[in-house]
Structure 1
Amino acid sequence: LVVQRVASKELRRAAEHSGARMIKRTGLKKSEDEIQKYLGFAARVYNDEKLEQVWVLDGGGKPMATVLVGAATSEVVGERERIAKDAAAAVQLSVRSGVVPGGGSLELAVAREVEQVRDGIRGMAAYGVDCVVEALKRPMSQIVANAGFNPLEKLGDVIAAQAGTGKISLAVDCDSGEVADMLDIGVVDPAEVKIYALKAAGEVAEAILRIDTIIKKREESKTKEVNMSGL
C-alpha cells in the first residue's frame, strides 16, 4: 500500500504507532539489511475509501487512538472537537495522577474542614476564611443550579450527608437530584487538575493581598508627605 501526499505530522504519528523510523527518500538506496532497521509493524493497514482515511491498527510501537468528530456544520464540529480534546486530556491526566470524586464533593468536604478552623480566628482573618469557604462551595452550587435544582437546598442535603456518613465523595446526582456517591456513579475528576486549581487560587489570592498591602503603604507615605509640606 503506497500513500501519497502525507503530512509530516501524520507520518510521525504512523512511525510512532508502528515502531518504525522515518527515513528520507535517498535512504531507500541503502541495503535491504539496513532498511530492515527502519521498518515497523502493524497487525492491519487498510484504506477506508468511504472516509478517505488509511487505518493503521495494532501497531508495534506507541499505543494510539483516533477519535473522529463530525457534525452538520463547521461551527458545531469545532465545538465538538474542543470537547473531545478536553475529554482526552482529562483521561490522560487521570491515568497519570489518579482521580478524586467529582461533582464538587471534594471542594465541599474541604470547605467543611476550613469552617472548623474558622472558629478560632478573629478579625479580618475570619472574613478571609469565610471567602475561602464560599469559593469552595461554588463548584457544586453551580453544577446543581445548571441541573435545575435549588443550590441552597441541595448543598444543605450534601453537607448533612457528608457529616453523617463521613464520606467526602457524596454530592448531587444531577439526573435525579438525590445525594449519591460520585465514585459509585462514575463521576470523577483528575487529581492533578484539582490540586493545580486549589494551588492557583491560593496563589492568586495571596498576590492580591500583597498588592493591596503595597498600595496601602504608598498611600500612607503620600499622606505623610502632604502633612510635612503643610507644616
Structure 2
Amino acid sequence: MAQLGGQPILILSEGSRRTVGRDAQRMNITAGRVVAEAVRTTLGPKGMDKMLVDNLGDVVITNDGATILGEMDIQHPAAKMLVEVSKAQEDEVGDGTTTAVVIAGELLKRAEDLLDQDIHPTVIVRGYKLGNEKAQEVLGKIGENISSEDRKSLENIAITAMTGKSAERASEPLAKLAVDAVLRVADKVDGKLKIDKDNVKVEKKQGGSIADSELILGVIIDKERVHSGMAEHVKNAKVALLDAAIEIKETETDAEIQITDPSKLKDFLDQEEKMLKDMVEKVKKSGANVLFCQKGIDDVAQHYLAKAGIFAVRRAKKSDMEKLARATGGRVVSSLEDLSEKDLGHAGNVEEKKIAGEKMVFVTDCKNPKAVSILIRGGTDHVVDEVNRALDDAIGGVTAALEVGKIVGGGGSVEMEVAKHVKDYAQQVGGREQLALNAFAEAIESIPRALAENAGLDPIDVLVNLRSVHEKSGNKWMGIDVFDGKTKNMFDLGVIEPLKIKTQAIKSASEAAEMILRIDDVISAKSGGGGGAPGGMPGGMPGGEEGGEYE
C-alpha cells in the first residue's frame, strides 16, 4: 500500500504479502541452506541414508541427493531452485547431485556473512561469477585424459559413484556391468564417443541377491507371449517389429450393418476371420518367427500366429520397440503391407522366462547390440530400488567420463585444488570482489569438509592438512581417505570421478546462488487459506512470515 496526498493507494490485492530488502534475502538464503543441510549428511562413502515416507505411507530409503529432494514436498520458491540444481545435475551428468546442492547451500551461507558486512549483493554476485569462471578454467586444465580402452579407470569411476550406497557390497560386479553396458551402446560420431543412456534398459526384479544382477546383450521386455500354444523359446530369431494392430479396424464414420439371414452372419464372421488370417500370412511371408507388436493382437490372430509357429508379444512400449530395433538391427514398420524380410532384426535367442513369479521376454545373443539391458536383483524392493539408483549414478559417471574424455581425483582433492587457485586469483582481483572470491573458494572447500564430518573426523584438522599438502607438494590429487583419516593420492586409491560432474556442479550451484542473491523483494499472492509470504512452510521449511504457502 502506498499513500499519495493522504489517500491510501492499494497496489496488491487484499491478502497478498510482501517481504523486501534484507528480510527477503535472509528468508531465501535460509530456505536454500536448509535444503542443502538436508542432503549434506549423505555425502561420501560414510554418508548416512534418509527415510522418506509419503502421504500414502510408501517408504523410500536412499542417500541419493536427487531422489531425496525429488521426494521431499518442498514449498518454498527459493528452496525449489536448489531442487532444480539437483535435477539439472541429474539430467546432465547422472551423478554429483548432492555435491551441487551442498556447494549451492554453502555459497548462500557465505554470502549471508558478506551481506552482514554491508557488502552489496551485486558485488557478491560479480565475485561469484569470477569465481565460477576461474574454477571452470582450472578444472579444464587439471583434468586427466581417459579413453574407452582404459577399462580399469572406468570401473573405478563406477565404483566411486556407488561407494556409500547400499549397493556398495557388490560394487565391483555392478561396476563391470555398468562399464560393459555403456561401451556396448557407445557410438562414434566424428571421432568422438556419443552415448545415449536411454539405450541401457534397467529392469528390477525382487529376489536373489545383488550379485545375481546380470547384463543382457539385448533387451528384456516386461511382457509375456500372447498365446500358450506358442513356443517358449525361439532360436535364430527373425524379429518383426510392428507399429500397427493385428485387429479388424473399426470404420472411422458411423456405420451400420444389417444382417437379415443367419447364414449371412456366418459369412460376415468368416470374412473377418479371413482378414485376420491374411494379416498373419503377411507376417509369415516376411520370414519372421518372432513378432513384437506395439498395438493389439486379436484373439483369432493369436491363434493363427501360434499355428504358424510365430512367437508374438503385444502392446510393447514405444521405448522398448526402439531399443529392440537398435539391439536386433530391425526396423519398426507402421504397416503390415510394408513388412518384408529386409525389415527384420536378428537375435540368437528369444525366450520367455519367469523371474520372481512374473513372466518376461528375453531377446538375447544379438550380434552387435546397440541397446542392452541390465536385470537388477536384490532381497527386497527397497534394496532393488537403491541398487537401481546406484547403478544409474555409475552409468551416468562412466558416460560423462567417456563423452568429455577427462577425469579428476575424488575425495575432495579436486575441490581443494580449485579452491587454492581461486584464492590466488582473489589476491590479483582485489577490492570487495576479493572477499566474494574467497567466500567462493571456502564454499568449494565445503565438500572435503562434509566428507570429513560424515566420516566422524575433525574437519578443521583435515582441511588444514589438505591445504598444506596442496600448497607445499603441488600434488593436485591429494584428498582425504575417509576410512583412516589420512591424506592420500586419490588416483593411487582408484577414487576418480568424471570432470563433467565437477564442472556442472560448480556451474549450476553458482548460477542458482547468484539468482537467489539478486532477489530483494518477494511478493506472494493470496492463497486458499488466506494470504501470506512464502513462510510457515510444512515439513519444517524456514521462512519469514506466518500464513500462506506456495503450491
TM-score, reference length from structure 2: 0.35
Partner Cα distance (2:365, 2:484) in 1: 41
**1:65-91 Cα distance to aligned partner (Å, 9 max, x none):** 322234444344333322322222222
Partner Cα distance (1:191, 1:201) in 2: 16
In structure 1, what residue type is equivalent to 2:501? V
In structure 2, what residue type is equivalent to 1:57? T
Tell me if the contact between 1:115 and 1:129 (Cα under 8 Å) persists in the aligned partners: yes
Structure with larger RCO (C-alpha < 8 A, sep 6+): 2
Partner of 1:84 in structure 2? 391
Tell me if the contact between 2:416 and 2:470 (Cα under 8 Å) persists in the aligned partners: no
| 1:137 aligns to 2:442 (yes or no) | no
Pairing partner for 2:346 from 24, 27, 41: 41
Mapping of 1:157-168 within 5 angstroms?
A: 157-168=465-476
**1:119-156 Cα distance to aligned partner (Å, 9 max, x none):** 34555323212211111101111112222222221222
Tell me if the contact between 2:376 and 2:388 (Cα under 8 Å) persists in the aligned partners: yes
**1:198-221 Cα distance to aligned partner (Å, 9 max, x none):** 222333344345445x99xxxxxx
Tell me if the contact between 1:16 and 1:61 (Cα under 8 Å) persists in the aligned partners: no
Partner of 1:185 in structure 2? 493
For residues 128 and 50 of structure 1, do their structure 2 counterparts lie closer, same or farther at Cα, with a shift above 3 Å needed? closer
Partner of 2:123 in structure 1? none
Structure 1: which 5+ runs fail to align?
A: 216-231
In structure 1, what residue type is equivalent to 2:363? V
**1:7-63 Cα distance to aligned partner (Å, 9 max, x none):** 223232122111111224724xx6xxx622112233444443445333333424543
For residues 24 and 121 of structure 1, do their structure 2 counterparts lie closer, same or farther at Cα, with a shift above 3 Å needed? closer
| 1:11 aligns to 2:321 (yes or no) | yes
Mapping of 1:59-138 within 5 angstroms?
A: 59-60=366-367, 62-98=369-405, 99-120=407-428, 122-138=430-446
**1:90-142 Cα distance to aligned partner (Å, 9 max, x none):** 22112111322222211110111122223345553232122111111011111
Partner of 1:228 in structure 2? none
Q: SS of the counterpart of 2:504?
A: helix
Partner of 2:330 in structure 1? 20
TM-score, reference length from structure 1: 0.76
Partner Cα distance (2:372, 2:519) in 1: 47
* Bigger helix fraction: 1
| 1:202 aligns to 2:515 (yes or no) | no
Matched positions, count? 209
Partner Cα distance (1:39, 1:175) in 2: 54
In structure 2, what residue type is equivalent to 1:81? N
% identity of equivalent residues: 29
Tell me if the contact between 1:40 and 1:60 (Cα under 8 Å) persists in the aligned partners: no
Partner Cα distance (1:72, 1:50) in 2: 13
| 1:173 aligns to 2:478 (yes or no) | no
Partner Cα distance (1:134, 1:207) in 2: 19
Partner Cα distance (2:412, 2:315) in 1: 45
For residues 125 and 50 of structure 1, do their structure 2 counterparts lie closer, same or farther at Cα, with a shift above 3 Å needed? closer
In structure 2, what residue type is equivalent to 1:126? Q
Spell out structure 1 runs of 4+ moving beyond 6 A.
none
* Bigger strand fraction: 2
| 1:53 aligns to 2:360 (yes or no) | yes
For residues 104 and 58 of structure 1, do their structure 2 counterparts lie closer, same or farther at Cα, with a shift above 3 Å needed? farther
